[in-house]
A and B are shown apart, each in its own frame.
Chain A
Amino acid sequence: MRPGAAFPRALPRLARRLALARRLEPGEEVMRRRWRAFLAVAAVTAVAAVSACSKDVNQSPQGGTDASKVEVMSWWVGGGEEAGLNAMIALFKQQNPSIEFVNSGISGGAGTNAKAQLATRLAANNPPDSYQRHAGKELAADIKSGDVEDLTYLYTQQNWKNVFPQGLVDAITDNGKVYSVPVNIHRSNLLWFIPKTLSDNGIAAPPKTWDEFLTQAAAIQAKGKTPLSIGPAWTQKHLLENVLLGELGVDKYNGLWNGSTDWTSAEVVAVIQKYIRILSYSDIKSAGADWQPALDKVIEGSAVYNVMGDWANAYLSGDKKLAFKTGYDVTTAPGTAGVYNFLSDSFTLPVGAPHKAAAEKWLALCGSKEGQDAFNPLKGSIPARKDADTSKYKDYLATALADWSNPSTKVVGSLAHGVVASDAWNTEIDTALGLLVANGNPQAFAAAVKQSYEKNK
């Protein structure tokens, strides 16, 4: 049979139109050489394709016992985060000289890029040995689709349930099992200000409740200053969670995330209404491009307060070289005294990790006192453990650590940073919040968020 007989009739015409063949006079010799070249290319392609496929097949889905190396995927690739990670890597190498450490850091977008690439690798059953996730519900989708191993045995082995605060363990437990090891703790419910700005504007002390804030805000606005500075959409969500926490209290706030507090109840809608009033005292019309420009307005004195997580501390004391307490100060966000609204970076053990034994050693370091005390002073966060070396944490971090290890402190999780709501729900809350900010309809917001919860739980 002729080799070309199987092709549809249109193809040769198409080929002739597209290819050079029409112009070349096909001599017998040239022909044969072209055939050979083509066959070579085709063979290489085929070999490459086959080997790429077989790689997947060969990889054991059970995870290897091979401990010659460990690949860790994170988005810690710059600044204090990278310095902290490097300190941990150095410690790891010291403890495990025979294990090669592969640092697969991916920069950009607070982990967005790393997450996108991770999703691809997980889908291709080609996971790293350990990857970074915000602790809490951000991991829910991975747990549901069976991407991560249950680490309860590691928690028992390392006695972590007794050294991490109960509120933290509760927040990262899913149906009685724990799937990730938190390395650090950041705090969300903080109100930043410059003491001098307060005294210049005749304010005795920062507000203890949001109602007190609204009273102060009216007076501040009358003086031509911005009561509260704000940034892009995520900082608006950050503010929302702290208004909800401050107004509803710990139990009802926690209930918002497990369905026991009704979003559409009059009480919650009233709080959302209050959030809109608070926003009206902010500079949202000319909001900063990110959280730093929003803080800059507070530093310059054109704005008085800013609600932001404690990464602001490194910016104020490091980049801006201000002295804690005198140059800048911080207190808990209104209505949240005695509450620690946390967020945390954690590491996991993916199902099918090629070097499981080495990954377990890495996770053990992540949860250990030495590991956390090496990482956190550089990153500007506090350890998840209650028994950390307090001498390593100065100024703001010392106060944060004292609050964290205080047994009477109530620990709750952050919405804007992935602790209490799954990615799916969180993304829809983003849309709802964008609409709320645009049209100021709290009922519609509450109904949409409730509906999205039902859909995504």
Chain B
Amino acid sequence: MRRIRRWAPGLLLVAPSLLVLGIFVYGFMGWTLRLSLTSSRRRDINWDYVGAENYRELADETTLTGQRFAIDVKNIVIFTLAFVVGSLVVGFFLALLLDRGVVGESFFRGVYIFPMAISFIAIAIVWRWLLNNGTGDQLTGLNKLFSLAGLDFLQSDWFKSDSGFAIAAVALPAGWALSGYVMALFLAGMRGVPEDLREAARVDGAREHQVFWHVVRPMLLPVTMSALVILVHISLKTFDLIYAMDLKSLKIDTPALFMWFTTFEGGFFGSGAAIATLLLFGVSLVIIPYIWYSVRAERRS
């Protein structure tokens, strides 16, 4: 009886949220997975099981769906690499600069973080103009800036490029929006390193860059991991930014957009659920090792 008194109230307190999570997150994941194994259409959720047919079609490059999905997978890999690496590098250097103790630090911190407060739709509208690839009278945005600076060779077709790497241009606005956030994470991480540790290293004769490399850097690993996980899952889910940049352009199409059009415009619920399940699988490839890693780290401490 005493033992029950110890744990029962706690369990009951978290029970509502466990219940809600159970239904609306894990229950719906299961529902989506189940739906992805059927030939369901909009309004006719028929539970007509077709096995892995929807997945097979996505993998089959002789079908329309398969061809588009292949493009989407290639695009999302390019986008994720460009966006995550870009944001991490830029965010890290911004943090490094601010950590030196710049005059007006809080002002700059605000300036760099602000883009995150803007909705992706608004960012897309602004950057769609900045990344315009018109020539002559239609020259605008970055290309015009390059032309004024005499750097014409830097001009690009950006997200309208035929190179197959058009989606990398979308990483520019996405990185612009998120690198301030990454900076904040890194800055917090750097500030979290106790001053006496640095002092000790200095006393031992370490130069400033050695202090950073041997003392601060190793302690930034958890921050880097968090930033990585946050960025990767944002990257896989990015929808509005691309939707508003160039609607239905296959050059910058991703699985998230394909899922939306398949499900909600075409009404192919089964096929859309299959894409959603694969997306979830992609996200869990990143999240699960991270959870495993942090649980282990917690248990060790």
Residues of A within 8 A of B (CB): 2-4, 7, 11-16, 18-22, 26, 31, 34-35, 38, 41-42, 45, 112, 115-116, 119, 122-123, 141-142, 144-145, 147, 232-234, 285-287, 289, 297, 300, 302, 423-424, 426-428, 430-432, 434-435, 437-438, 448, 451-452
Q: Say whether B64 contacts A42, CB under 8 Å.
A: no
Question: Which one of A19, A122, A300, A448 has the highest number of Cβ atoms from chain B below 10 Å of its Cβ?
Answer: A19
Q: Say whether A438 contacts B250, CB under 8 Å.
A: yes
Cβ contacts B256-275/A at 8 Å (1 or 0 each):
00000110111110000000
Q: Say whether A424 contacts B4, CB under 8 Å.
A: no
Q: Which of A4, A34, A122, A287 contacts B4 (CB 8 A)?
A: A4
8 closest cross-chain pairs (CB), A and B: A19-B10, A21-B10, A427-B266, A15-B11, A233-B248, A434-B250, A145-B43, A12-B7
On whether A434 and B11 interact (CB within 8 A), knowing A286-B132, A297-B138, A428-B266, the answer reads no
Q: Say whether B247 contacts A15, CB under 8 Å.
A: no
Q: Say whether A431 contacts B160, CB under 8 Å.
A: no
B12 → A minimal CB distance (Å): 5
Q: Say whether B135 contacts A18, CB under 8 Å.
A: no
CB-CB under 8 A from A21, the residues of chain B are 6-7, 9-10, 13
Q: Which of B9, B15, B43, B133 contacts A286 (CB 8 A)?
A: B133
A11 → B minimal CB distance (Å): 6
Q: Name the residue of chain A whose CB is nearest to the CB of B249.
A: A233
Q: Name the residue of chain B whose CB is nearest to the CB of A16.
A: B7
Q: Say whether A15 contacts B135, CB under 8 Å.
A: no
CA distance A416 to B157 in the complex (A): 27
Q: Say whether A286 contacts B42, CB under 8 Å.
A: no
Question: Which one of B6, B10, B11 has the highest number of Cβ atoms from chain A below 10 Å of its Cβ?
Answer: B10
CB-CB under 8 A from B8, the residues of chain A are 3-4, 12, 15
CB-CB under 8 A from A16, the residues of chain B are 6-7, 10
CA distance A116 to B265 in the complex (A): 8
CA distance A427 to B272 in the complex (A): 12
What 4 additional pairs, Cβ within 8 angstroms, besides A15-B7, A38-B13, A297-B138?
A21-B10, A41-B16, A285-B162, A424-B268
Q: Say whether B265 contacts A431, CB under 8 Å.
A: no
Q: Does B196 contact A (CB under 8 A)?
A: no
Q: Which of A2, A7, A15, A427 contacts B261 (CB 8 A)?
A: A427
Q: Name the residue of chain B whose CB is nearest to the CB of A429.
A: B64
CB-CB under 8 A from A424, the residues of chain B are 41, 266-268
Q: Which of B4, B10, B15, B134 contacts A2 (CB 8 A)?
A: B4
On whether A234 and B10 interact (CB within 8 A), knowing A31-B5, A427-B262, the answer reads no
29 pairs of residues in contact across A and B, judged by CB atoms under 8 Å: A3-B4, A4-B7, A12-B11, A13-B7, A19-B7, A19-B11, A20-B13, A21-B10, A22-B10, A34-B9, A119-B42, A119-B264, A233-B246, A234-B247, A234-B248, A285-B133, A285-B160, A287-B160, A302-B137, A302-B138, A423-B265, A424-B268, A430-B265, A431-B64, A435-B64, A435-B250, A437-B250, A438-B251, A452-B64
CA distance A11 to B132 in the complex (A): 56
Q: Does B224 contact A (CB under 8 A)?
A: no
Q: Does B65 contact A (CB under 8 A)?
A: yes
CB-CB under 8 A from B128, the residues of chain A are 289
CB-CB under 8 A from B9, the residues of chain A are 19, 21, 26, 31, 34-35, 38
CB-CB under 8 A from B136, the residues of chain A are 302
Q: Say whether A11 contacts B160, CB under 8 Å.
A: no
Q: Name the residue of chain A whose CB is nearest to the CB of B251.
A: A438
Cβ contacts B1-29/A at 8 Å (1 or 0 each):
10111111111111110000000000000
Q: Name the residue of chain B whose CB is nearest to the CB of A427.
A: B266
Question: Which one of A18, A34, A123, A434 has the highest number of Cβ atoms from chain B below 10 Å of its Cβ?
Answer: A434
Q: Does B67 contact A (CB under 8 A)?
A: yes
Q: Does B68 contact A (CB under 8 A)?
A: yes
Q: Which of B14, B68, B268 contacts A15 (CB 8 A)?
A: B14
B296 → A minimal CB distance (Å): 15
B273 → A minimal CB distance (Å): 14
Q: Which of B4, B16, B43 contacts A42 (CB 8 A)?
A: B16
CB-CB under 8 A from B134, the residues of chain A are 286
CB-CB under 8 A from A448, the residues of chain B are 64
CA distance A292 to B64 in the complex (A): 30
B272 → A minimal CB distance (Å): 10
CB-CB under 8 A from B251, the residues of chain A are 438
CA distance A424 to B4 in the complex (A): 56
A126 → B minimal CB distance (Å): 13
CA distance A451 to B67 in the complex (A): 15
B119 → A minimal CB distance (Å): 13
CA distance A289 to B131 in the complex (A): 11
Q: Does B44 contact A (CB under 8 A)?
A: yes
CB-CB under 8 A from B266, the residues of chain A are 423-424, 426-428
Q: Name the residue of chain A whose CB is nearest to the CB of B264.
A: A116
CB-CB under 8 A from B267, the residues of chain A are 141, 423-424, 427
CB-CB under 8 A from B129, the residues of chain A are 289
CB-CB under 8 A from B160, the residues of chain A are 285-287
Q: Say whether B5 contacts A11, CB under 8 Å.
A: no
CB-CB under 8 A from B6, the residues of chain A are 16, 21-22, 26
Tell me the B145-173 residues at the A interface (CB within 8 Å). Answer: 157, 160, 162
CA distance A42 to B136 in the complex (A): 67
Q: Name the residue of chain A whose CB is nearest to the CB of B45.
A: A123
CB-CB under 8 A from A232, the residues of chain B are 246-249
Question: Which one of B14, B64, B135, B250 has the highest number of Cβ atoms from chain A below 10 Å of its Cβ?
Answer: B64
Question: Which one of A427, A435, A452 has the highest number of Cβ atoms from chain B below 10 Å of its Cβ?
Answer: A427
CB-CB under 8 A from B157, the residues of chain A are 285-286
Q: Say whether B41 contacts A141, CB under 8 Å.
A: yes
CB-CB under 8 A from B11, the residues of chain A are 7, 11-12, 14-15, 19
CB-CB under 8 A from A45, the residues of chain B are 16
Cβ contacts B21-64/A at 8 Å (1 or 0 each):
00000000000000000000111100000000000000000001
On whether A300 and B137 interact (CB within 8 A), knowing A26-B9, A434-B253, the answer reads yes
B73 → A minimal CB distance (Å): 15
Q: Say whether B14 contacts A119, CB under 8 Å.
A: no
Q: Name the residue of chain B whose CB is nearest to the CB of A231.
A: B247
